[in-house]
């Protein structure tokens, strides 16, 4: 079997110097039927390795319900990498950041266990069990056992969070005890404090950066005086948040930084080679004083766009790589544009008044207390004597629509730091709260969602709330069933409404649905949860993967939270991710 190890200055493959030229593809952001296509295109760009994170909350969203099939089939993904003749790097965290919901940690974990990302015994107990399950998949697929895996990473940018060496030592111990024999790495930004605190002497340090390669490699070399230099996250783009711009980087400038990195003899993992999509409710959020939920697309301005088509960066990166390593002669086929057409939307009735397992408590129950993993909880209360006044809430996480007796009053936004609004007289106060995405880093991991703290009306404490969780995917599934049986309801005059459409296809195809004439909500095609849309932008289209479509009649459901400006569903030929940053 092939060996892979660390030499004095290089990685060694069967004892010979070897440069890792890798690209990131997150299996959980790409439809499984499209994994092979993306991996093949990585090889055609000249990559010899594929890197992926492992997202714990993908595999175990609820405690004890482990899944490694379908979208979660890490083993199949690694087998496809191997079948293409490429190596693999696995980064199982347990924390991954990745602009992913809760940084990859399950909500049940962060809501119940103290001492996150530390040597606290309760946390280590859960993490060890998780890692053993991952390594059951990874260990038999290591290069010295005939598989593709050449490197495994311990934690992720830990120096930006802490410096608990006992924690890292425990992760190394469970990794080695689980049969992982390939070299173990860590990654941190090229900052002295982070590189010092985020690793151990026996782990190989790598860097994460996207520019000033020569300078940053020098910083890394001070902390890793022997062995191969590697940038494990060469940032070739960036991510977007709602209300911002679409982030892009200059292809020529990024290629020049890649060239400088390779010219220095370093190995590289391009983050991302193909970003994919935050399907469903998987997007994370930023919060550095202002909460900024991330968009559905994870295009990342990468060499392969969200739909898996080569961009300018694919070709300029390929030219750079060809100076240092063999590159196949073959190029990916030029993709045709997606089908463009328009169909009318049909109103299918209100949906946020769906009956659920409501519970009544003094204060509103959080999403976490309810064990609710979907996007919405509705809170209702009968107002004392029907009097309105100044409504004040300690904290809204993250966006709330307030109504009295079914009549909309306004919204309260965490992003705007809203806490109060004046409400009119009425009998029933309803507050619909959306979890817009969990912050994916630092001390905000695992923070509760919903209405937090006390609620007062003209200074008087308001108690006795009914909390009703709304599962948007289940509601959409019921509406899809109603479409096929022609049992949809008429639209209501007030409040959010569901909309449906049917469209024919000659064959399955990637599609882009333009949401510009809608406002805010969730979209589904044939029951598949495409993700969130919002006129707040910058994103204007949602990616529909070909494998979720079919020849013949297809069904679209949009769960609109505000207003549809024009009752139509427009499908366009290419993604529209918003105005780019100049």
Catalytic residue (choose from 233, 306, 434, 560): 233
Distance of CA 425 to the CA centre of its chain: 42
Long-range contacts of 70-77 (CB under 8 A, 24+ apart): 70/32, 71/27, 71/28, 71/31, 71/32, 72/28, 73/27, 73/32, 74/27, 74/134, 74/137, 74/138, 75/137, 75/141, 76/32, 76/35, 77/27, 77/32, 77/35, 77/52
Q: How far apart are CA 420 and CA 427, in angstroms?
A: 19
Task: Indicate if 60 belongs to the active site.
Answer: no
Residue 526: how many CA atoms within 13 Å on its side-chain side? 16
Catalytic residue (choose from 60, 157, 306, 560): 157
Measure CA of the first residue to CA of the last residue in the chain; give whole Å: 50
515 Cβ contact list (under 8 Å, min separation 6): 523, 533, 535, 540, 541, 542
* Cis peptide bond upstream of 94, omega within 30: yes
Q: To which residue do tokens 């690694």 refer?
A: 78
Task: Indicate if 560 belongs to the active site.
Answer: no
267 Cβ contact list (under 8 Å, min separation 6): 11, 19, 20, 21, 22, 228, 229, 230, 231
Tokens in use for 518? 């809608």
Burial class (CB within 10 angstroms; exposed 0-12, middle 13-18, buried 19+) of 288:
exposed
DSSP 445-457: TT---EEEEEEEE
Burial class (CB within 10 angstroms; exposed 0-12, middle 13-18, buried 19+) of 346:
middle
Looking at the annotation, which residues are catalytic? 157, 233
């Amino acid at each position: 079997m092939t060996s892979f190890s660390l030499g004095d200055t290089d990685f060694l493959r069967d004892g010979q110097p070897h440069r890792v030229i890798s690209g990131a593809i997150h299996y959980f952001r790409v439809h499984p039927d499209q994994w092979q296509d993306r991996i093949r295109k990585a090889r055609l760009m000249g990559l010899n390795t594929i890197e992926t994170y492992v997202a714990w909350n993908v595999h175990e969203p609820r405690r004890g319900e482990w899944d490694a099939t379908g979208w979660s089939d890490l083993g199949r993904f690694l087998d496809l990498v191997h079948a293409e003749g490429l190596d693999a790097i696995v980064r199982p965290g347990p924390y991954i950041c990745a602009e992913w919901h809760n940084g990859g940690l399950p909500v049940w974990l962060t809501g119940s266990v103290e001492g996150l990302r530390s040597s606290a015994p309760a946390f280590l107990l859960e993490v060890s069990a998780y890692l053993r399950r991952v390594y059951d998949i990874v260990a038999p697929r290591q290069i010295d056992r005939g598989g593709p895996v050449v490197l495994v990473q311990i934690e992720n940018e830990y120096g930006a969070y802490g410096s608990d060496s006992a924690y890292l030592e425990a992760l190394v111990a469970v990794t080695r005890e689980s049969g992982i024999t390939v070299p173990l790495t860590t990654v941190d930004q090229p900052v002295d404090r982070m590189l010092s605190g985020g690793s151990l002497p026996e782990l190989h340090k790598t860097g994460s950066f996207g520019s000033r390669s020569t300078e940053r490699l020098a910083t890394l070399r001070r902390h890793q005086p022997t062995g191969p230099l590697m940038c494990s996250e060469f940032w070739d783009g960036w991510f977007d948040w709602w209300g911002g711009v679409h982030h892009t980087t200059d292809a020529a400038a990024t290629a020049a930084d890649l060239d400088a990195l390779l010219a220095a003899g370093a190995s590289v993992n391009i983050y991302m080679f193909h970003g994919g999509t935050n399907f469903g409710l998987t997007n994370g959020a930023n919060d550095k004083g202002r909460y900024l939920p991330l968009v559905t697309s994870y295009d990342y301005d990468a060499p392969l766009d969200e739909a898996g088509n080569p961009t300018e960066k694919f070709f300029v990166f390929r030219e750079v790589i060809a100076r240092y390593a063999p590159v196949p002669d073959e190029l990916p086929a030029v993709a045709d544009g997606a089908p463009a057409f328009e169909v009318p939307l049909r109103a299918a009735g209100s949906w946020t008044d769906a009956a659920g397992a409501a519970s009544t408590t003094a204060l509103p129950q959080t999403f976490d207390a309810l064990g609710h993993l979907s996007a919405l909880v509705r809170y209702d209360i009968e107002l004392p004597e029907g009097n309105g006044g100044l409504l004040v809430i300690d904290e809204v996480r993250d966006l709330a629509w307030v109504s009295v007796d079914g009549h909309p009053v306004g919204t309260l936004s965490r992003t705007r730091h809203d806490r109060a609004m004046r409400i009119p007289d009425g009998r029933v106060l309803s507050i619909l709260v959306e979890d817009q995405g969990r912050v994916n880093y630092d001390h905000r991991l695992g923070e509760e969602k919903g209405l937090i703290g006390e609620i007062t009306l003209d200074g008087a404490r308001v108690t006795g709330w009914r909390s009703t969780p709304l599962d948007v995917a289940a509601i959409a599934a019921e509406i899809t069933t109603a479409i096929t049986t022609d049992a949809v309801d008429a639209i209501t005059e007030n409040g959010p409404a569901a909309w449906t459409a049917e469209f024919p296809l000659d064959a399955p195809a990637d599609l882009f649905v333009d949401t510009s004439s809608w406002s805010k909500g969730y979209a589904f095609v044939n029951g598949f949860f495409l993700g969130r849309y919002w006129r707040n932008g910058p994103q204007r289209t949602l990616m529909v993967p070909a494998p979720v479509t079919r020849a013949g009649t297809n069904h679209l459901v949009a769960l609109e939270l505000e207003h549809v400006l024009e009752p139509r569903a427009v499908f366009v030929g290419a993604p529209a991710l918003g105005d780019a940053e100049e």
